[in-house]
Amino acid sequence: MKTFRETFRGLTLDPFQQKAIKYIDQNKSVLVAAPTGVGKTLIADYVIDKIHSENGRVIYTAPIKALSNQKFKEFKKFMGADAVGILTGDIVLNPEASVLIMTTEIFRNMLQQSNEKVADVRYVIFDEIHYIDDPQRGSVWEESIIFMPPEMRFLGLSATIPNVEELAHWIESIQGQKIEIVTHFERVVPLKHQVFERNIGMTTLKNFKKRYKRLLSEERQAIASTSHLDLIKELKDGYLPCLFFCFSRKKCEINAHELAIHYDFLTQEQKEQVKQVINEIADRYPQINSSRWEDLKRLVLRGIGYHHAGMLPVLKDLVEELFDKRLLSVLYCTETFAVGLNFPCRTVCFESSTKWDGFNFRPVSNREYFQMAGRAGRRGIDEQGFVFTLIDINYFEPHEFPSMREGDIEPLKSQFALTYNSILNLINNYSDQDIYRILGMNFATYQAVQEKDLVQEEIEAIELELEGFCPHTNTDNCPAVYNKLLRKRKKIEKDLHRAQGRRRNGLLAQKANLDRRISQAVVHDCDKDEQKSCFNRGHAFNRLQKKLARLNKRFKQIDPQQRFLQEFRDKKELLKALGYVQNDKLTTAGIFASQIHVQELLVTELFMEGILHRYTASELNAMAVAIGYEPRKGEFRLKHNLDFSPIQRIAYHLIAMEEHFLGFTTTEFHDHIALLAYKWSQGESFSDIMSEALIDEGDVIFAFRRGIDLLRQIRNATVEDKFLNAKLREAITKMDRDEVSIWL
């Protein structure tokens, strides 16, 4: 008799997949932690198939819109267009479908504002649930879990994390249901991790550390830097295809062009296949106005490509399709290519072991490294996957490299934070008592409680150890310490005979202090052997005392619930001062703000003061793109004649209010590319507006779609305002066209 299901969609299931599916068949919630590329998503596919076949509803959430779009296309193929819907803020298609694909933010928003829409959902799938410790967005996952109905079951898919049990136990404490844990540590295709330097060649990091100092001492002149070309030269025979991760968009493109000068990896037959894909893409997207289009076509016809967030979506589609068809031998990409998208290859390369994180350069973490390295090794094709990190010997810093051991992956750490939107929805939906309870339910508080228990155990262990010492150890009552004081006083008395001026005054002060201590001491009577033993153990006693003091200080500091409660109170006072909360109830402004998830205060003030009503549809688009826009490093502002003075006046007021109540500000309004949004809304072509821009096409598309998302939020919050609603619909239509529109 078979205990587990052994196949699904014609594929033989691995034991960990069988185990997870067994729990799902028993209607249990499951948390799966396994390396990248071993088949976790097949479990999600099973859940969706199962619930759909039983006429139930299921939600699939993804951390990024690109992954949501990809899954939407996949599920449509299997189940038909009528069965699948997608909600990502800027895209809403078939929202009543039985299978709903959405970003995690949308799911959280539905739980907070209209949970009746998910009342009949049987399962929710959290793909890439380890995003819970993302500094910018981690709170979204925590709030989704906290507000998820207890009768709803969930499947969490995570990369390998060491504290998966802690995460599961926290969810159990929130949901009041047993969370089954399924872990899998072995890769289907094992990875071989090496570094590469042109003089030393391919080797392990350990061996490289031994050899590089000798190489530096032997060379009498500067050593030429190792480049990606040196590594590809070694890889071209037997190691391709490869993903080459660069932590700079510009480097991705530069490297691809440099490689194309030296190599053409395709046969004539493969070139014809590439041309066919190019033609299909061109037919699918008849208007491709991009300076990269012709350039990229030349590259891919040589089996070389690049992929980053600054590209038009259509160009990324071309690259992804060619890589999936194994028509690209080398693809230079940024780390966004490693999130969720399933494109395995034989080899993964890293141009550097450090990355810019938006604030400074830092070493790549072990989890980031394996998220990318896990793409190496194609199941059923490769016996082994290869991972190489390129080293420039002139700038080699051993501490900047990940350990390359999967056992050293960092544990998940909560990044919970309270937004104005969350606070308003808490006030609107819960009593003060419930809010206090909810603010103690986050993962940060749970982890702190666990840490506090561990610190308490350490404190008790040290206190017990200190009980083994004489109670007079290192006090003036100890004969050894007392005799030391006497000797020190005698030396000071001797020095006083020669000292003058300020030095004499200092010595007199020291002697007075010693006289006081000696006169107050009650010397314990113990023999010389005991004194010697105490004296020898004095250093250990001091170390324990210092450690105990540090632990007691840490114990007092661990109280995140109080921190969140204080933050809640401070922000609530600000909201009351702004008129969003009155007598613990939301005002009209508060109700509006509770439905906005981008710069809630600024958007609400613009609405309440009638500024949104005064702008034209094109001006609304320019404004929406500027709200919350984050310019890239070194990006210049495009000058314009749009009248944003009312917005800037309100922004300055909000900044002052936040500084007064909170000591910091979250209000942002950057109109760097507002002119592009305005001209686009006036009907100008994408190539024309980009001729004025000094930023990437993909960033413009992202900003425009983010603007569409915000306009939809405002529209949903103002359904009874017919005049503004009509103008918002017009604005969205003007923005959501041609290159900016997403075809699904």
* 41 and 123 in a common domain: yes
* 266 and 158 in a common domain: no
What are the helix (H) ranges across 285-417? 292-300, 313-324, 366-373
Last residue of a domain, one of 365, 392, 408: 408
* 179 and 216 in a common domain: no
Alpha-carbon 204 to chain mean position: 29
Within a domain: 374: yes
* 195 and 177 in a common domain: no
Under the banding of pLDDT at 50, 70 and 90, the label for residue 214 is confident
Nearest to 518, CA basis, from 473, 487, 472: 487
Q: How far is 397 from 401, CA to CA, in rounded Å?
A: 8
Residues 533-558 pLDDT 10s:
776 677 788 888 888 888 888 878 77
Q: How many domains are contained in the chain?
A: 3
* 107 and 32 in a common domain: yes
Question: The tokens of 216 are what?
Answer: 């530096």
Nearest to 127, CA basis, from 53, 55, 43: 43
Last residue of a domain, one of 160, 183, 206: 183
Residues spanned by the domain of 22: 7-183
Within a domain: 147: yes
* 197 and 148 in a common domain: no
- pLDDT > 70 fraction of the chain, expressed in percent and rounded: 98
Last residue of a domain, one of 163, 183, 203: 183
* 214 and 143 in a common domain: no
**Cβ(95)–Cβ(712) below 8 Å:** no
* Parallel/antiparallel/unpaired status of strands 57-62 and 99-103: parallel
Radius of gyration for the chain, computed over Cα atoms and rounded to the nearest angstrom? 32
Residue 608 Cα distances to 37, 92, 578, 582, 681, angstroms: 49, 27, 11, 16, 25
Question: The tokens of 41 are what?
Answer: 């998503």
* Window from 121-125, 136-140, 720-724 with minimum mean pLDDT: 136-140
Residue 703 Cα distances to 289, 361, 638, angstroms: 17, 25, 15
Q: How far is 329 from 259, CA to CA, in rounded Å?
A: 11
Provide φ and ψ at 581, rounded to 5°. Answer: -130, 135
Can you give the CATH number for the domain in which 96 is found? 3.40.50.300
Burial class (CB in 10 A: 0-12, 13-18, 19+), 517: middle
Q: Mean per-residue pLDDT for 76-98?
A: 89
For residue 256, which amino acid is it? A
User: Which residues make Cβ contacts (< 8 Å) with residue 614, sequence separation at least 6?
Assistant: none
Residues 472-503 pLDDT 10s:
777 778 777 788 888 888 888 888 888 888 88
Within a domain: 441: no
Is the model's pLDDT at 1 over the cut of 60? no
Within a domain: 153: yes
* 206 and 76 in a common domain: no
User: Which residues make Cβ contacts (< 8 Å) with residue 557, sequence separation at least 6?
Assistant: none
* 158 and 205 in a common domain: no
* 251 and 160 in a common domain: no
User: Which residues make Cβ contacts (< 8 Å) with residue 675, sequence separation at least 6?
Assistant: 622, 638, 639, 640, 642, 692
Residues 26-50 pLDDT 10s:
999 999 999 887 888 899 999 999 9
Can you give the CATH number for the domain in which 588 is found? 1.10.3380.30
Q: How far is 201 from 198, CA to CA, in rounded Å?
A: 5
Q: Mean per-residue pLDDT for 668-694?
A: 92
Strand order in the sheet with 330-333: 201-203, 191-197, 385-390, 347-350, 242-245, 330-333, 304-307
Residues 227-242 pLDDT 10s:
999 999 999 999 999 9
Within a domain: 463: no
Under the banding of pLDDT at 50, 70 and 90, the label for residue 621 is very high
Task: Quote the pTM value.
Answer: 0.84
Q: Mean per-residue pLDDT for 351-377?
A: 87
pLDDT score of 220: 58
Within a domain: 354: yes
Q: Mean per-residue pLDDT for 435-444?
A: 92
Q: Mean per-residue pLDDT for 321-345?
A: 87
Residues 691-729 pLDDT 10s:
878 889 999 999 999 999 999 999 999 999 999 999 999
Within a domain: 505: no
* 71 and 46 in a common domain: yes
Q: How far is 735 from 737, CA to CA, in rounded Å?
A: 6
pLDDT score of 2: 47
Q: How far is 468 from 471, CA to CA, in rounded Å?
A: 9
Within a domain: 132: yes
Is the model's pLDDT at 527 over the cut of 80? no
For residue 398, which amino acid is it? P
Residue position matching structure tokens 């993302």: 134
pLDDT score of 393: 85
What are the helix (H) ranges across 2-150? 15-25, 41-53, 65-79, 104-113, 138-147
* 79 and 48 in a common domain: yes
